[in-house]
Structure 1
Amino acid sequence: MSVLLIEAFYGGSHKQLMDLLQEELQDDCVLCTLPAKKWHWKARTAALHFMQTVPTSANYRVLFASSVLNLAELVALRRDLGKLKKVLYFHENQLAYPVQKCQERDFQYGYNQVLSCLVADVVVFNSAFNMESFLTSIGKFMKLIPDHRPKDLEKIIRPKCQVLYFPVRFPDVSRFMPEHKLARLQKVIGVKRNGDAYQLEGLPGRQKSGDLMKNSNAHGESGLCTPEHEGLPSPSPAPERPNKAEASESTNPCQGEDKQHLPFNLCNIMSGWDSRQRPLHVAWPHRWVEAVYCGCYPLCPKALVYPEIFPAEYLYSTPEQLFKRLQNFCKRPDIVRKHLYKKWFDLGSEEELLSHPGCSHRMTLPQTEDSRDCPYHIGT
């Protein structure tokens, strides 16, 4: 039990990260959490709760916590924890987090994070954008103090900082993918039809999809791509395209005496459609590189964290550019259907792939209502 994991908001990506760490560390860690409710109160009072509930141990060596926790308060209340190597992880930062126009930014939450950075030994951000937006905002943020303002806090904190892209485990979605995209993925990163799914969280080896679904998934929705979800039957291979004679007898693939016994399979539903007749779908996902992994075409604003993830050809700068791109896709949907995500397939080795930030999921700051900040994926 050398690692103490503390999460004051145990839900969503915060829970996912802690669960993965606990799984990898196994018996060498202790996990202490609070439920993912009333975030503002957790940020204010979690340290007092953990002061009373974190078990004491002489075996602790490392304390790992997210920035929701006021780490400075906790180590002041629990002197034994102050001696540990303290790692603080930022999913988001309160100095750049968007607020409603009619709402002033609450100084206390950002101040808590600055204090936490000062007492931490290592400060980890999920993207370079998240890190830089926090560090470069400290000086301006501290000017809100009426007098006796602290100086050079950015210089003190910056040497402790580093970027660690958020880890992702991809489920087996091979049966939902077009053949040409599946074949390319199989060649580059080892994806197999209804077989093993590759792990892209920097851990070696592969994991069977059944085990993968039990252990991972970004938001508890892994069943979407597994036959166990909602009691859905296991999908069968996509049927062959009917010839003209067969099509004349029945143009509805769901017609027939046993239509109620057909398994749910997206490939089955769409296999009888001419690809030129199938509409494109615009998705607005909360989990990007999963979307790209599933074969979507990313189309993102040239702002925030997106230039850090995607090459320039997938970015737009103005609403007019976005409209023109979408218009061209409507005229030539085959561009999207035949497209293979460029950056992954330009990488020459498995090691390069694993180290590329576009292959690791990362949390980004919520978007504004301005259309320039509206990211899209174009799905097939």
Structure 2
Amino acid sequence: NFMIESQTMKILFLEPFFGGSHRDFALGFKAHSCHDVTLVTLPDRFWKWRMRGAALYFVNHIKDFSVFDAIIVTDMLDLTDLLSLAGKDLPPVLMYFHENQLSYPLAPTQRRDFHLGFTNIISAFAADRVLFNSKFHLNDFMESASRLIKQMPDFKPGWMIRQIREKAEVVYPGCQFATGLMNLKKNNIIKPLIIWNHRWEYDKNPEAFFDALDALKEKNISFSLALLGEKYDIFPDIFKQAKEKFKDEILVYGYVESRNEYETWLKKGAIVVSCAIQENFGISIVEAVRSGCIPLLPDRLSYPEIMPGPLHSKVLYQTAQDFLKKLEDMLVNYKDYLPLQKQLSSDMEHFSWETLVKQYDSILEDFLL
């Protein structure tokens, strides 16, 4: 048994959508795992075509799957295609769900492609183990999958849901920060810096954020603003309007390429906010809180799970009015919140890759037993 545990495994990691949190996760795992990880990726564009076609690329590209001890895939892959086309001698497969196509919120102009949601269900069923990035996401997936299967006119495979649940568990994604004490600076108390570090997309609900800032500005409440986060060629117009409206407050506008520079902004931040409609984990929030930002987050999605219970009444909000009231209080009385900085930052420490990678490695080692 000891021999098996100390053996280095050869892991094949297939990522059809190598960008954002998918990219961070794949690179973080490869850098921290004690196993030998081969990463094969496709660029993060045309996501529906990736779900349909990535398996064909991988099967054609990888000449011999049998040299690996295990395969990791993520939710943008049709695993059943890969398994059927790759033929015999495939090692066991671990599937990681960052998001799913059953409950992902749609922009007002979009219609849901149920066959992509079904691809997620049948891929989870085909995997040997299934991991989700939060309890919220696991439950959300199971409920949405059950609902979709109930819509089938007949021969409903309800047993699939039970079998997926039996092999599913939650392992949080690792974050890129070291363990140990953080050097938390006392930041600008006169104009506290509000951090927005989410993708510039509909599902992160920027309208609600800028509405609150409008109201604060009308009340002459001082703040400064860092609009970080990834933006694609097409992003919500509200960011262009905000650039003009908050030109006196904005210190940085747009994605910061350098990791170092990004971390420097997080350390300067006073408050990090989210108004998201969709969030299955929240790496950007965890990183900001680790760096000393006080969070203000919706009391739903994965946020109650990743924030310490005793502080929920301070850092979670219920409604738009509650958000505005709490944000105003944080800005006006920022120094009263500073004692929370250290507690919150050290609470985030257990999300570091150094700590979490042990869970992933031991799940993979189970495949050898």
Same fold (TM over 0.5): yes
SS at match of 2:116: helix
TM-score, length-normalised on structure 1?
0.62
Residues 342-357 of structure 1 mapped to structure 2, 5 A cutoff = 342=343, 354=350
Residue 308 (str. 1) matches residue 305 (str. 2): yes
* Closer/same/farther in 2, CA of residues 36 and 153 from structure 1, 3 Å limit: same
Quick one: percent identity of the two aligned structures? 29
Residues 294-373 of structure 1 mapped to structure 2, 5 A cutoff = 294-310=291-307, 311=309, 312-313=312-313, 314-340=315-341, 342=343, 354=350
Structure 1 CA distance, aligned partners of 2:266 and 2:19? 30
Asked if the contact 2:65/2:91 (under 8 Å) is kept, the reply is no
Q: Compute the displacement of 1:342 (Å).
A: 3.9
Residue 64 (str. 1) matches residue 72 (str. 2): yes
| Residue 250 (structure 1) aligns with | none
Asked if the contact 2:175/2:283 (under 8 Å) is kept, the reply is no
* Closer/same/farther in 2, CA of residues 163 and 174 from structure 1, 3 Å limit: closer
Residue 177 (str. 1) matches residue 185 (str. 2): yes
Structure 2 CA distance, aligned partners of 1:341 and 1:132? 31
My pick for the range that moved more, 165-174 or 40-49, is 165-174
Residues 22-101 of structure 1 mapped to structure 2, 5 A cutoff = 22-25=30-33, 28-80=36-88, 83-101=90-108
Structure 2 CA distance, aligned partners of 1:333 and 1:88? 43
Q: Compute the displacement of 1:220 (Å).
A: 5.5
Structure 1 CA distance, aligned partners of 2:178 and 2:262? 7
* Closer/same/farther in 2, CA of residues 3 and 331 from structure 1, 3 Å limit: closer
SS at match of 1:7: strand
Larger RCO (CA within 8 A; separation ≥ 6): 2
Asked if the contact 1:96/1:137 (under 8 Å) is kept, the reply is yes
My pick for the range that moved more, 4-13 or 140-149, is 140-149
Structure 2 CA distance, aligned partners of 1:63 and 1:139? 27
Match of 2:258 among 200, 203, 221: 221
Q: Compute the displacement of 1:39 (Å).
A: 1.0
Structure 1 CA distance, aligned partners of 2:332 and 2:148? 48
* Closer/same/farther in 2, CA of residues 280 and 219 from structure 1, 3 Å limit: closer
Residue 129 (str. 1) matches residue 136 (str. 2): yes
* Closer/same/farther in 2, CA of residues 219 and 4 from structure 1, 3 Å limit: farther
Q: Compute the displacement of 1:40 (Å).
A: 1.1
Q: Compute the displacement of 1:336 (Å).
A: 2.9
Q: Compute the displacement of 1:143 (Å).
A: 3.0
Match of 1:18 among 23, 26, 32: 26
Q: Compute the displacement of 1:122 (Å).
A: 0.5
* Closer/same/farther in 2, CA of residues 307 and 174 from structure 1, 3 Å limit: closer
Asked if the contact 2:174/2:352 (under 8 Å) is kept, the reply is no
* Unpaired segments ≥5 residues, structure 1: 180-217, 228-264, 271-278, 361-380
SS at match of 2:13: strand
Structure 1 CA distance, aligned partners of 2:330 and 2:40? 49
* Unpaired segments ≥5 residues, structure 2: 1-8, 188-254, 275-281, 357-369
Q: Compute the displacement of 1:149 (Å).
A: 2.5
* Closer/same/farther in 2, CA of residues 27 and 287 from structure 1, 3 Å limit: closer
Structure 2 CA distance, aligned partners of 1:332 and 1:109? 47
Instruction: Provide the alpha-carbon RMSD of the alignment.
Output: 3.6
| Residue 3 (structure 1) aligns with | 11
Asked if the contact 1:91/1:126 (under 8 Å) is kept, the reply is yes
Structure 2 CA distance, aligned partners of 1:106 and 1:151? 20
SS at match of 1:327: helix
| Residue 160 (structure 1) aligns with | 167
* Closer/same/farther in 2, CA of residues 121 and 286 from structure 1, 3 Å limit: closer
SS at match of 2:101: coil
| Residue 114 (structure 1) aligns with | 121
SS at match of 1:80: coil
TM-score, length-normalised on structure 2?
0.63
Larger Rg: 1
| Residue 186 (structure 1) aligns with | none
Asked if the contact 2:14/2:39 (under 8 Å) is kept, the reply is yes
Asked if the contact 2:172/2:351 (under 8 Å) is kept, the reply is no
User: 1:294 is matched by which residue type in structure 2?
Assistant: S
Q: Compute the displacement of 1:356 (Å).
A: 9.8
Q: Which has the higher helix share?
A: 2
Asked if the contact 1:12/1:219 (under 8 Å) is kept, the reply is no
User: 2:299 is matched by which residue type in structure 1?
Assistant: K
SS at match of 1:167: coil
Asked if the contact 1:292/1:341 (under 8 Å) is kept, the reply is no
Q: Provide Cα deviations, 1:268-305, integer angstroms capped at 9, x if missing partner.
A: xx9xxxxxxxx976655970011111211111111111
SS at match of 1:48: helix
* Closer/same/farther in 2, CA of residues 176 and 132 from structure 1, 3 Å limit: same
